[in-house]
Structure 1
Amino acid sequence: MSEKLPTLPELRQQIDAIDVQIHELINQRARCAQTVAEVKKAEDPTITSFYRPEREAQVLQMVMQRNQGPLAGETVAKLFREIMSACLALESPLKIAFLGPNGTFTHAAALKHFGHAAITRPMATIDEVFREVEAGSAHYGVVPVENSSEGVVNHTLDCFINSGLKIIGEVELRIHHNLLVAEGTQLKNISRVYSHQQSLAQCRKWLDAHFPKIERIAVSSNAEAARLVKGEWHSAAIAGETAAELYGLKKLHENIEDNPSNTTRFLIIGTESTPPSGDDKTSIIVAAHNEAGALYRILEPFYRNGLSLTRIETRPSQSDIWSYVFFIDFEGHQQQPQVKLVLDELHDRVRELKNLGSYPKAVI
């Protein structure tokens, strides 16, 4: 004979009791975070940011490792991200500059990495994001660096050549496009769709199959498309979840992108180096000598010391005509002995080497 299931009132009573415990523990954690801030201030009265990228990465990694379900590890990690964001805001709210406007995928990446308690500030250009952080007007910045379908964001790479900022983290964001409309808009009345030209291209097959005759209008960003649609009853926008929430739009269709694995990688930029998290990357810029075998001389130390490259890009040098610099990402932290060995060896092999920083790999 099977065991009798509890009644709904009994289950709700259990949930209420669990919620009380969760509530008490969250506030207990918040009080502990406030004490951490007091200790840090006592040790360094000049401190302005209590955010530690390596510590938060370690916490999220532990959350996912110990998770036994039924919630997915990433889902639980996102909940902890928001708890940490709220606790950090009690100590000192983070000011985050990002490539705007509000509602873009870069905005979504900033919220994913820092949580909704951070103060996010949209900037018109990537250059402005760098300048805000350099001037101390923002603690950190968020900029796109590469997309799995469209390739590298060259302007971000170029900004690193002349900037003294460090990379302190990365975010990987799966790019999901939705067909959004204003409340009350009916499917049969849609005569045009707004979006950024890249998003229109990324949803071309879906649009050809479902809306072959409607006008497709390219605008400056998906967020701008959402803003325009908010005031129109005969239009739709292609944009992400953040834009839908920001402008109060209804999703007619979700995940309409032609490539469901399309992902954009964003970099978190700051002024200080990041200690090891245990699962890190390092990024460098290398200017090679103009000689035969120059690229081999750069790559050979990585192979010999067992360091895996995750990305290599070439950009024209801004100082010498027909000269090029290499942007290299590889696994490991600059404090690890084998990484130190490779960096020291590269200094002797290249014309110039710039260390952009070591930082935790994207966790969620």
Structure 2
Amino acid sequence: MAKGRAERRGARQGAKAAASNIIAFQGEPGANSDMACRAAFPYMTTLPCPTFDAAMGAVQAGKAELAMIPVENSIAGRVADLHSLLPHTKLKIVAEHFQRVEHCLVALPGASLKSIRTVKSHVQALAQCRNFLKKNKLQPVVHADTAGAAREIAEIGDASVGAIASSLAARIYDLKVLAKNIEDADHNTTRMLVFSREEAHPDWRTVQCMTAFLFRVKSRPAALYKALGGFATNGVNMVKLESYLSGARFEQALFYAEVEGHPEQRNVLLALEELGFFSDELKMLGSFPANPFRRKGWEAPTRPGT
């Protein structure tokens, strides 16, 4: 019996060690989120998942150490699917990553731009390449995932169908890149949030920190104005504030917010205490180091003819 317990304990420890080197993402191999995971955590193994919920669930279940989820894009705006998961998750935000997105039009090896009639991809990718599609009179078709669209056109073998996907997806599925950098703007960048079971503990004395939280204000006049007043009076910079409906409640919006600073800083603590006083609900999602991209951004690539 003791031997059996030791074996089970060893198996659990082995699984934990294996999971500690895994980062989950939504999509198929070669998706933009896959590329983002490889860029931010090159020493980790990526785990493809069908949905955001499944990726975060893999972390909660101990099958992965981290999950990286897109939250907003500089062209297409916020990725709304994540917001419905935040009120229920037990995971914490521990990092942010900014991924430069370079879309490619990919197709079968024998295809050409003239042979393509329809283009499949994720709705966000289609929105980010709207001008290219319109200019070339290509019919967009929504797919669940960029890399999944690439895999599908490789399987169906139709030279009239292309996909908007990454160069990595083209290599994985043996497709031809017909056009590179087809996104509408050189600054096409997606911000990703990294989730973990354990909180991050950045040293706010040496690192610029961000703090994310959800709140729902009391249903009374000027409640939001009063709830946010503490951030102004305490000199806390709020860099993001988004409202959205949660469930069937239309009279009270749920707010997602991010501020500069850490709750251990007195001014941030006082602002959060005032927010809590005027709120029906306040959920801290985590504090994490601010990515250097916030200060310097990307250098826009020079394209041929520009």
Alignment TM-score, normalising by the size of structure 1: 0.68
Aligned equivalent of 1:66: none
Counterpart among 22, 25, 38 of residue 95 in structure 1: 22
Unaligned regions of 5+ residues in structure 2, if any?
1-12, 294-306
Pairwise mapping of residues 2-151 of structure 1 onto structure 2 (< 5 A)?
94-115=21-42, 117-151=43-77
Structure 2: distance between partners of 1:153 and 1:186: 32
Structure 2: distance between partners of 1:163 and 1:243: 30
**1:184: how far off?**
4.2
**1:236: how far off?**
2.7
**1:285: how far off?**
0.8
Matched-pair contact (CA < 8 Å) for 2:129–2:184: yes
In structure 2, give the amino acid aligned to 1:110. C
Higher alpha-carbon deviation: 188-197 or 154-163: 188-197
Identity of aligned pairs, percent?
A: 35
Matched-pair contact (CA < 8 Å) for 1:184–1:233: no
**1:315: how far off?**
2.0
Higher alpha-carbon deviation: 249-258 or 184-193: 184-193
* 1:256 to 1:299, Cα distance in 2 relative to 1, 3 A: same
Counterpart among 61, 71, 79 of residue 153 in structure 1: 79
* 1:215 to 1:294, Cα distance in 2 relative to 1, 3 A: closer
Larger Rg: 1
Question: 1:243 aligns to what SS in structure 2?
Answer: helix
Structure 2: distance between partners of 1:129 and 1:200: 23
In structure 1, give the amino acid aligned to 2:31. T
Counterpart among 326, 331, 334 of residue 263 in structure 2: 334
Identify the structure with the greater helix proportion: 1
Structure 1: distance between partners of 2:24 and 2:89: 16
Aligned equivalent of 1:25: none
* 1:168 to 1:256, Cα distance in 2 relative to 1, 3 A: same
**1:218: how far off?**
3.3
Aligned equivalent of 1:230: 154
Matched-pair contact (CA < 8 Å) for 1:94–1:119: yes
Counterpart among 294, 303, 311 of residue 240 in structure 2: 311
Pairwise mapping of residues 209-248 of structure 1 onto structure 2 (< 5 A)?
209=135, 211-212=136-137, 215-231=139-155, 232=157, 234=159, 235-248=161-174
In structure 2, give the amino acid aligned to 1:112. A
Matched-pair contact (CA < 8 Å) for 1:93–1:119: no
Aligned equivalent of 2:220: 291
Question: 2:202 aligns to what SS in structure 1?
Answer: coil
Higher alpha-carbon deviation: 313-322 or 239-248: 313-322
* 1:188 to 1:159, Cα distance in 2 relative to 1, 3 A: closer
Question: 1:162 aligns to what SS in structure 2?
Answer: coil
Alignment TM-score, normalising by the size of structure 2: 0.80
Structure 2: distance between partners of 1:351 and 1:198: 34
Question: 1:253 aligns to what SS in structure 2?
Answer: strand
Runs of 4+ more than 6 Å apart = none
Over aligned residue pairs, what C-alpha RMSD do you find?
A: 2.6
The structure with higher relative contact order (CA 8 Å, sep 6+) is 2
In structure 1, give the amino acid aligned to 2:144. S
**1:155: how far off?**
2.6
